Amino acid sequence: MSKILVTGGAGFIGSNFVRMVLLGSDHEVVNVDALTYAGNLENLTDVERHQRNTFVRADIADPAAMDQVFAEHRPDVVVHFAAESHVDRSVIDATAFVRTNVTGTQVLLDKSRIYKVQRFVHVSTDEVYGSLGPWGYFTEETPIQANSPYSASKAGSDLLVRAAVHTHHMDCIITRCSNNYGPFQFPEKLIPLMIANALEGKKLPVYGDGRNVRDWIYVTDHCEGIRMAMEHGKAGEVYNFGGDAERENIFVVKEILRRLGKGEDLIGYVKDRPGHDRRYAMDSSKARATLGWTPRHTFEAGLQKTLDWYVANKPWWERVRSGAYQAYYEQQYGRR
């Protein structure tokens, strides 16, 4: 049994990972999350009182706060999800992206070195590789060519992790994954936004010509990959994870409408995102060959599970959209 310090465990992927670890292993979890707009403890109500789960509200970019967390909890492993994660927000203002994604990652690396953490798993993204034309795939050797402030800040964090391996001989692993979807995703990202809008009869805003391509992966398949990399990955290595499910945005949007029994008249084409990357596609053959990982969900099966979840959990996303979810921390833990 190891003690895993999970950062960003109240967010979308982090909360799915925390649940997987608590219910599917005997590891202990210390979940460190600042509870920004994207952090939601209602993502974890079913495992909140699990005996191997501890929640700490703290900012990863605050060195004194992190020193306290590492000194008190002495983690064996760090799995680092915490980030500002939405491209559109980074286009408007990149300040928080640099602070959390770059500074925050360096603070965690420093504390991990001082407190002799055995392994640091850095959760990154395919977006650091830039944009593809109609052919080809990203491999772990593809040069970093980030295009948005979000992906540039993630690329910065990846390079800091690489430097910690090279300079300080730290045992770090970088995972890079394609676009996730599934339960508990904040309804500002494509799939949950489109589902929630369709269910409320609102317009579905499709950027540009709608023909940008993403490689979609069901969130628990990504979490399994991270867990396998954490347990069996080789120090200093990068592992790509993708869903083998390239789809144009407009296909995804139409499929959501079709499965919900809604008309395509809800689609509204809007002005394109500045610098919008055209296509992402992952070559995950290294993770398959060396970790024995494979995604379990086809896009069709994963999308149906996701639709069923959002239909059944309307109060969850209504509380996110109204802002009511932000009172949950105070209700459970009192004022900070």
14 binds, among ligand NAD, ligand TYD, none (CB under 5 to 8 A by kind): ligand NAD
Whether 127 is a known active-site residue: answer: yes
- Of 65-73, 186-194, 238-246, 317-325, the segment contacting ligand TYD by CB under 6 A is 186-194
Footprint of ligand NAD on residues 23-42 (CB under 6 A)? 33-36, 38-39
Instruction: Extract the runs of DSSP E, i.e. beta strands, from 2-108.
Output: 3-7, 28-33, 53-57, 77-80
Footprint of ligand TYD on residues 69-88 (CB under 6 A)? 87
Do residues 228 and 218 touch, judged by C-beta distance below 8 A?
Answer: no
10 binds ligand NAD (CB under 6 A): yes
Neighbouring CB atoms inside 10 A of 281's CB total: 21
Closest distance to ligand TYD from the beta carbon of 233 (Å) = 24
Q: Indicate left, alpha or beta for 179 from its phi (over 0: left) and psi (-120 to 50: alpha).
A: beta
207 binds, among ligand NAD, ligand TYD, none (CB under 5 to 8 A by kind): ligand TYD
Footprint of ligand TYD on residues 199-228 (CB under 6 A)? 205-207, 212, 214
Catalytic residue among 28, 126, 215, 255: 126
**Closest C-alpha to 125, from 19, 13, 11:** 13
Whether 181 is a known active-site residue: answer: no
61 binds, among ligand TYD, ligand NAD, none (CB under 5 to 8 A by kind): ligand NAD
Cα–chain center distance at 17: 10
H/E stretch holding 256 reads helix 249-260
Footprint of ligand NAD on residues 176-205 (CB under 6 A)? 177, 179-180, 186
10 binds, among ligand TYD, ligand NAD, none (CB under 5 to 8 A by kind): ligand NAD
For 113-135, b/e burial (b = at least 16 CB within 10 A) is eebebebbbbbbbbbbbbbbeee
38 binds, among ligand NAD, ligand TYD, none (CB under 5 to 8 A by kind): ligand NAD
Q: Could you tell me how many residues of this chain bind ligand NAD (CB under 6 A)?
A: 30
Whether 126 is a known active-site residue: answer: yes
Do residues 277 and 148 touch, judged by C-beta distance below 8 A?
Answer: yes
Closest distance to ligand NAD from the beta carbon of 210 (Å) = 19
Distances from the Cα of 229 to the Cα of 112, 119, 147, 170, 249, angstroms: 18, 10, 27, 16, 30
180 binds, among ligand TYD, ligand NAD, none (CB under 5 to 8 A by kind): ligand NAD
DSSP type of residue 32? E
Taking the C-alpha atoms of residue 115 and residue 167, their distance in angstroms, rounded to an integer, is 17
β-sheet bridge partners, residue 194? none
Residue type, 173: I
59 binds ligand NAD (CB under 6 A): yes
Neighbouring CB atoms inside 10 A of 310's CB total: 24
Catalytic residue among 150, 218, 239, 329: 150
Give the residue numbers annotated as catalytic, written as ranges. 126-127, 150
- Give the interface with ligand TYD as residue ranges (CB under 6 A): 87, 179, 189-190, 193, 205-207, 212, 214, 249, 273
- Give the interface with ligand NAD as residue ranges (CB under 6 A): 7-8, 10-14, 33-36, 38-39, 59-61, 81-85, 100, 104, 123, 125, 154, 177, 179-180, 186
